[in-house]
Amino acid sequence: MNKWQSWVSMGATPILTLGFIVAVCVPSRANNVQITCKTTDSTPKVILSLAKNGTPENYMMLNFLPKYFSAVSAVQDCQNTAKSLQAVYDTGSSKYLTADKLNEQAVVCAVERRGIGCNHYSAQVLFILKPVDNPSQALYEMLGSDFKQAQRPDARTLSRTYTDTRPWWWPL
């Protein structure tokens, strides 16, 4: 038995060591992505900053349009959304944005996968729209061009559309 244990130990140690080295050396996506709310112009925007080849590049993710928000709520919702989306990138917990009706309110939330709505236990509501707003239409209009789907949602669209939180060119 001692001989067997020593062989197992000899085989397991390099594997565990290699796993540790890979875990420590692989750069995390969280360090390369910064989500912030920019309020330098009249419309607050959630900006994704990604370090590519050592140079940060900015991509507008969400534009808090005045037709959906008051000036005060736009800034507050933008800041809260930026913090929430930064946590999403840091943890890798949610991969899609979707819009839904939740308790008679139009909402936009982050979800883990397609097929679940904002009422799912793992969904994270990012902001609330006016009850009369079409949440799918509002989300589409608010999205930056790198995050938009090819087609606008319409009456024939399924009840919910899903937008990847990573731009279309993002490496898998």
Token pair, residue 150, equals 């090819």
C-alpha dihedral (133, 136, 141, 144), degrees to nearest 10: 140
pLDDT of residue 148: 81
The neighbour count for residue 171, using CB atoms within 10 Å, is 6
Tell me the per-residue pLDDT of 58-115, one tens digit each, with 9 for 90 and over.
999 999 999 999 989 999 999 999 999 999 889 888 889 999 998 889 999 999 988 8
Tell me the per-residue pLDDT of 123-168, one tens digit each, with 9 for 90 and over.
999 999 998 999 999 999 999 988 886 656 555 554 567 777 765 4
Give the list of residues 6+ apart from residue 141 with CB closer than 8 angstroms, or none: 65
The domain segmentation of the chain, as residue ranges, is: 29-164
Helix ranges restricted to H, 35-134: 71-91
pTM of the model: 0.74
